Every structure is written in structure tokens, then in C-alpha cells.
Amino acid sequence: MPAWVTDPDSLTLTEDQYDGLPDHVRKMVEVIDGHVIFCQSGTPEHSDVARRLANRLEASKGSRTYRHAYTHEGELAVEDPFPATVPFSELDG
């Protein structure tokens, strides 16, 4: 068994090694400080919720920078750069 199976930190790449990977492999990983991070695609349901949430937030103010978000009693609340509250029920479709 390869070492990275039991120790993910052992899977490292240099910039040159990353550049040498096929495109389809580079789309599946990120390299942060030399360590390989596998990027998993979200489910179709996750994509739907993310799209609905983004649509609601953009409709609230039109900004693409969201900070200081929290969840509370069935809703997502964003405080900065503008206040917005999105009930989870509206994201379920």
C-alpha cells in the first residue's frame, strides 16, 4: 500500500511535477505548500443549493464578497458587507 494512503501528508508535489500532470488530473487536485489536496465535486443537490444561495445573496445586494456568515434556527445570516438572511427552506427548492 502506498504511504499516502495512511499518511496523506506524505503525498507531495513540486510545481514542476504538478505542471507535468495531465490536465484532467490537475483539475482534481490542488497543491498547497507542496501537499496534494484532492478536490471532490459536489453532488447535484449541493450545486442546486449553492446556486440558489448565491442568487438570493446577489439579489439582496449584488456583491460577491460575503463575510461573517452564520447559521441560526433554520436560516443563514450574512452580516458583512451587508445584512441578509436566507431561510434554508428557500434553498431546498
DSSP letters along 26-90, please? HTTEEEETTEEEEPPPPPHHHHHHHHHHHHHHHHHH--S--EEEEEETTEEEEEESS-EEEEGGG
Asked if residue 66 has pLDDT above 50, the reply is no
pLDDT tens digits, residue range 21-57?
A: 898 888 888 888 888 888 877 788 888 888 888 787 7
